[in-house]
Amino acid sequence: MYEAILIAGFGGQGVLSTGQLLAYAGMLEGKHVSWIPSYGPEMRGGTANCGVTISDSPISSPVVSEPTSLIVMNRPSLEKFEESVVPGGLLLVNSSLIDIKATRKDIRVYYIPANELAEELGDARVAGNVILGALLELTGVVSLDAVERSLREVLPAHRHKLIPLNRRALETGAALVRRSTAVRAG
């Protein structure tokens, strides 16, 4: 198993913490992992992305330049990174904030209304975990249980009361792609 995942969006959308959750979950499952963050000088509102590699064997390079899976949380990220996905790869689009369609026909594309679903759950901040749940369901890269255990490590202690909400967000994204092909195109 080998997944090179790129997660991209604006600062403040949880892009880096989503990557941390994935990487930590991979470590908990005994896999080889790397996590490389990249962000602009702005704290919130600037661009942010991170590459996460999870593999059953040692990772030769931690840089994710040709992702097998791409999560985009905003339109500039879709426009910038869509072409980098390997043929046959996976693209998850936050359709709550992205008003255009992907152009690639050689990859699997899913449109996930992550922000809308997060707001329905009661907190827009869990949008990243909604789309992460979809990724977990579609790739099986790590288990949802491992990601939930990772929340205890990634979230500060005063935020641990939000772990059940984050679990529901993960389950919501997974259930969406499980029950409906309406979100899929390509």
d(CA 93, CA 103): 12
pLDDT of 13 reads 87
State pLDDT tens for residues 139-169. Answer: 999 999 999 999 998 888 999 999 999 999 9
Q: At what angle do helices 15-28 and 144-154 cross, to 10 degrees?
A: 120
- Long-range CB pairs of 115-121 (<8 Å, 24+ gap) are 117/169, 117/172, 117/173, 117/176, 118/169, 121/165, 121/168, 121/169, 121/172
User: What ranges in 104-162 are assigned the alpha helix state H?
Assistant: 114-121, 127-139, 144-154
- Long-range CB pairs of 106-111 (<8 Å, 24+ gap) are 107/186, 108/138, 108/184, 108/186, 109/184, 109/185, 109/186, 110/134, 110/138, 110/177, 110/183, 110/184, 110/185, 111/183, 111/184, 111/185
Asked if pLDDT for residue 44 goes beyond 70, the answer is no
Model pTM?
Answer: 0.92
Q: Are 94 and 72 in contact (CB under 8 A)?
A: yes
Q: Which domains does the chain have, with CATH numbers?
A: 2-185 (3.40.920.10)
Burial of residue 125, with CB atoms counted within 10 A of its CB: 0-12 exposed, 13-18 middle, 19 or more buried: buried
Query: How much of the chain is helix, strand and coil, in % rounded to 5?
Result: 45, 25, 35
What mean pLDDT do residues 100-123 have?
96
Asked if pLDDT for residue 82 goes beyond 50, the answer is yes
Q: How confident is the model at residue 14 (pLDDT cuts 50, 70, 90)?
A: confident
